[in-house]
Amino acid sequence: MIKTVNDLTDFDPIFIRYDIKIAPKKRAASDVSTDPALQAIAKGVVEGDEDMVAEASKAAIASKGPQTVIDTLILGMAEVSKLWDDGVYYLPQVILSSDALMVGLNMAEEALGSAVVKKGTVVMHCAHGDIHDIGKNVAAALIRANGYKVIDLGSDVPEETVVKAAKDNKADLVTGTALMTTTMSAFHRVAEGLTKEGINIPVVASGGAVSEEWVTSWDRGVYATFAKQGPEMAGDAASGMSWEDMRAKWNLVL
Ligand code: B12
């Protein structure tokens, strides 16, 4: 007998085939926490489940505080990265996961609040050609919550736009994030642009593709490993610390 759509009772194989529904994982993600409340946040990120992340984050913000929630969201995304690297996840799953992470991050950022008096101004961006903005968003949330004005230029930002924003806003610090080897070279052009404009401020560069050795090979570059370093780095720059001194403080390669 010929089957028609009316004979179908199980649509899952079709939804999964077209990535409308996520397939059961070929390899389960590792647990990132022994605490069930935190594990639920990471699980929600891994499964791209915004509701799960929202519910778990709400409870954990109240019981453990927003910073712990942010740390757990990043750990969840690290599991997503492993699933991607192993070929278990494809773009649709990763997009769902990053959207779910943003739900938790926005809730945590709101809970962190921010000081009314601004301690300084930080211009942040993802490199020209690069749309990977998760780490930048986490760092921006932390820097903002610590009382700095953040001019977030978003993703795929041309070098001239970054330099102009730094000039127009009298920035104390420029930060850049790149996750692709093809995009990270934009940072040293940003640094050169600042020099041409006579703007003598540090450029903190970070992201999966970026190495400390590379960042410290051009003037103004200071390498960051973790988003949570952002507020202290912003404080250093706002207090007038030179990029040379910041590099000596934060980086091993001189
Ligand atoms: C999520 C993801 C995506 C998402 C991005 C969603 C988003 N809104 O960001 C989507 C699905 C859209 C995507 C698309 C693509 N991706 Co992608 N993606 C990833 C993945 C799985 C995880 C990256 C991530 O978010 N990590 C977690 C965050 C938290 O890390 P992070 O940004 O580095 O931030 C940390 C630090 O760097 C630091 N930090 C970052 N910024 C800042 C700023 C400051 C001030 C401070 C202090 C610290 C700091 O703090 C964080 C830790 O605390 C990686 C795989 C991997 N192994 O990394 C691939 C990966 C980055 N993607 C890759 C590729 C190739 C692509 C695509 C070209 C795929 C395609 N064929 O279309 C496109 C890119 C399009 C473009 N033009 O950019 C490659 C890049 C390869 C390379 N080396 O060049 C990777 C490495 C995968 C791979 N192994 O091939 N991707």
Instruction: Assess whether the C-beta atom of 176 lies below 6 angstroms from ligand 1.
Output: no
| The two structure tokens encoding residue 212 | 């400390």
| Total domains, the chain | 2
Which ligand 1 atom minimizes the distance to the CA of 180? 84
* pTM, full prediction: 0.82
174, 208, 211, 235 from 46: Cα distances, Å: 31, 19, 26, 33
6, 115, 175, 196 from 135: Cα distances, Å: 46, 22, 11, 29
Instruction: Assess whether the C-beta atom of 248 lies below 6 angstroms from ligand 1.
Output: no
pLDDT reported for residue 74: 87
| The two structure tokens encoding residue 249 | 């403080």
Hey, which residues does 173 pair with through a beta bridge?
Answer: 122
> What CA–CA distance (Å, rounded) separates 158 from 120?
23
- Residue ending a domain, among 92, 112, 132, is 112
91 backbone dihedrals φ, ψ, rounded to 5°: -50, -45
Residues 233, 146 share a domain: yes
| The two structure tokens encoding residue 118 | 């601004």
**Residue 246 — very low, low, confident or very high, per pLDDT cuts 50/70/90?**
very high
Residue-range definition of the domain harbouring residue 201: 121-250
pLDDT reported for residue 186: 94
> What CA–CA distance (Å, rounded) separates 215 from 220?
9
Instruction: Assess whether the C-beta atom of 81 lies below 6 angstroms from ligand 1.
Output: yes
Helix (H/G/I), strand (E/B), else coil: 24: coil
Is position 3 within any domain?
Answer: no
Residues 155, 128 share a domain: yes
Ligand 1 centroid to residue 132 C-alpha, Å:
5
**Residues contacting 122, CB < 8 A, separation 6+:** 143, 148, 149, 150, 151, 171, 172, 173, 174, 175, 234, 237
> What CA–CA distance (Å, rounded) separates 234 from 147?
10
- Mean of per-residue pLDDT scores for the chain: 89
Is position 5 within any domain?
Answer: no
- Residue ending a domain, among 70, 89, 112, is 112
pLDDT, tens digit, for every residue of 16-32? 766 666 665 556 667 88
- Residue ending a domain, among 55, 78, 112, is 112
Contact status, residue 162 vs residue 224, Cβ threshold 8 Å = no
Residues 104, 137 share a domain: no
pLDDT, tens digit, for every residue of 158-200? 999 999 999 999 999 999 999 999 999 999 999 999 999 999 9
Residues 246, 194 share a domain: yes
Ligand 1 centroid to residue 160 C-alpha, Å:
23
Quick check: 14 pLDDT over 80? no
Burial letters 123-146, b for 16+ CB under 10 A, else e: bbbbbbbbebbbbbbbbbbbbbbb
CATH number of domain containing 240:
3.40.50.280
